[in-house]
Structure 1
């Protein structure tokens, strides 16, 4: 079985900076626990996002804010299924990151990606 995830991706440093703006009382232990800590905090605030994952992407340690996911028993991890940044996904983006672009410049160029087999590329 293969999982494919789509979502917004950023470096640990950017994810931490965003989390500190979004949640002023935000604290976390280590970079490896950052994704889980962010997901728990979002869910605590009743913002249901499927997952935030620590993934290796283009040889960098990153956090993926999963907005779309697909599971298929017949696909290989290298299948070229790509998720679209549709209106539903853009609404999630606005809910998560909207209004912070002036303070956090990196949000202006936030990348939407599709990652095959993201649950086994975790750090």
Structure 2
């Protein structure tokens, strides 16, 4: 297996979203909790990555999802974008978070006939750490 790099993470995220967009998901049918959907996507993405790459998996204690690459993963709905502020202090708001963001934006559609959900990914966005400061503040 090859080592995960920023470049391969970006490519893998795109490929993963294309594949997942065509996959019916039984576990998410009827689910309206964005956190549950986000957790499902994050776990599935890590499973996808672990079959192809070697990398250090993040933890709540580390605070970011890919500490070796200094990347945090955010999964959010196009209909109800995540509104939580990732800034821990004023310094981060002005100078940036100090790590990159990988943002996956989906639209969830329940298919009633098959009782499955489909996640149609609208955007896969990589924001470099230099651009993570608050736009209005800076």
TM-score, shorter chain, exceeding 0.5? no
TM-score, normalization: structure 2? 0.29
Higher Cα Rg, which structure = 2
Q: Which has the higher contact order (CA 8 A, sep 6+)?
A: 1
